Amino acid sequence: MLTAARVMTAPSATRPLTAGTEPGLQRARGWFGLDVKQRDGRTVMADLVQGGCCRLLFPRVETPMLEAVTVNISGGMAGGDRIEGRIGCRAGTQLLVTSQAAERVYRARAADPPSEIDLTCRLEAGACLDWLPHGTLFFDGSVMRRVMRVDMAATAQFLYLESRIFGRTGSGEIVETLALRDRLTIRREGRLILEDLLRLESKTVSGLLASKAAGDGAPANATLILVSPRAEALLTPVREALEAGYTGSFAASAWNGMLVVRGIASGGWALEKTIRHILPILRGGRPMPATWRS
């Protein structure tokens, strides 16, 4: 399943320098591939490949679910950086993937290409994948293209979280210039069931997010998606939890074996508090990821 990952190579980190151009800078390249299988009622690693700036760590947790933590040792994403990942969940496996900390996307120079993250996941029958990274923090002038593709069996379960923070409000940061394209594609039994695209390209981001239609002044947003045979049954419990105690503006809907929650908040911590409030419902009471327990 990870044959393609094994032949990943790091492309040239610099571009030829021509008259009148800025000097090329060294860029980070990273790749990982993880394949998991069942053994004696537990999910274990079947195959692992990693290189460049990417590392996977595996905390010791006393659950049947295998937990993997992604680490970007380059310290963040800058213009021209690229990360590629492959995840394969064999039949009946349970995998949780989280991150060591929030990913940072730094300001790019005018001539820099965007930073890129390209992820592909395959889930066989009865497999469960929880994709629960910490948020992504965007700095003024950052440029990013991120794509995640999921191919899953009808009886598989996929839980997705992506939270985005546009500037650290506690440090007085304001994001004005941004070029972001964030795309999630989910196929079930080969059929497209969800295409979720966020495109935010503007030189007046703060003004755009201040509008009622875009953000109502909130500099942080989140999307949670559960694709599962039990997803629609969780709509009422999730809505009740949101009404009982949340720190932003959130809404939930469910259809076609999916449950989608979207929300905005005044900052990263306010966003995370609400996420922590509803994740136990979506995850069937399973404990929070190791790097979230604080």
| Category of 114 on φ-ψ map: left (φ > 0), alpha (ψ -120 to 50) or beta | beta
Q: Is residue 250 situated within a structural domain?
A: no
Whether residue 199 lies inside any domain: the answer is yes
pLDDT at residue 172 in the model: 78
Please give the pLDDT value at position 13.
Answer: 43
Q: How far apart are CA 264 and CA 247, in angstroms?
A: 9
Residue 194 lies in a domain: yes
The number of beta carbons lying within 10 Å of the beta carbon of residue 23 is 7
Considering the domain boundaries, does residue 104 fall inside one? yes
- On whether residue 60 sits in a domain, the answer given is yes
Residue 175 lies in a domain: yes
pLDDT per residue rounded down to tens, the chain (294 residues): 433 333 344 444 444 545 555 666 788 999 999 999 999 999 999 999 999 999 999 999 888 899 999 999 998 999 999 999 999 999 999 999 999 999 999 999 988 999 999 999 999 999 999 999 999 999 999 999 999 999 999 999 999 999 999 988 777 788 889 999 999 999 999 999 999 999 999 888 888 888 877 777 888 999 999 999 999 999 999 999 998 866 668 999 999 999 999 999 988 888 888 999 999 999 998 988 999 875
Closest CA to 35 of 26, 50, 25, 48: 48
Structural domain includes residue 207: yes
Quote the pLDDT of residue 3: 38
Domain count along the chain: 1
pTM for this model (two decimals): 0.89
Q: Dihedral (C-alpha) 146, 129, 161, 52: value to the nearest 10 degrees?
A: -40
Domain containing residue 171: 29-217
- Helices 235-244, 268-282: axis angle to 10 degrees equals 140
pLDDT of residue 213: 77
Residue 257 lies in a domain: no
Residue 137: strand, helix, or coil: strand
Supply the pLDDT for residue 212: 78
